[in-house]
Amino acid sequence: MTDTITQAAEILKDHRTSIDRLDAILVYTLGERFQHTKAVGKLKAQHDLPPSDPAREAAQIARLEDLATRADLDPEFAKKFLNFIIAEVIQHHETYTSDT
């Protein structure tokens, strides 16, 4: 019994190590993504372009849903996640527009 618990604890530790590594990847990836969207927002503000691009957003959502399906991730979750990111990006873009 103790051997089984020890083995389970080791497997749990390995999973948690992977989760921690993946969380770091997600945070750094989001940081990089927001660096690019910040540059886009500033460019849009400099050229009086609207902060939102509904056609691009719809295409991105469809693309992400497809990627999610292929990655065995709930596409509805992926859509909600991207919508959350898009809303944050638009809010930033609106801030850049009001700063100019």
The encoded tokens of residue 79 equal 């859509």
Q: Number of folded domains in the chain? A: 1
Query: What domain range includes position 39?
Result: 2-99
Task: Determine contact, residues 65/75, Cβ cutoff 8 Å.
Answer: yes
Its pTM stands at: 0.78
Q: Looking at the predicted structure, is the pLDDT value of residue 27 above 80? A: yes
The pLDDT assigned to 94 comes to 79
The encoded tokens of residue 64 equal 């992400």
Task: Determine contact, residues 41/89, Cβ cutoff 8 Å.
Answer: yes
The encoded tokens of residue 30 equal 């989001």
CATH number of 74's domain: 1.20.59.10
34 CB contacts (<8 Å, ≥6 apart)? 89, 92
Reduce the DSSP state of residue 48 to 3 states and report it. Answer: coil
The predicted model gives 57-77 an average pLDDT of 94
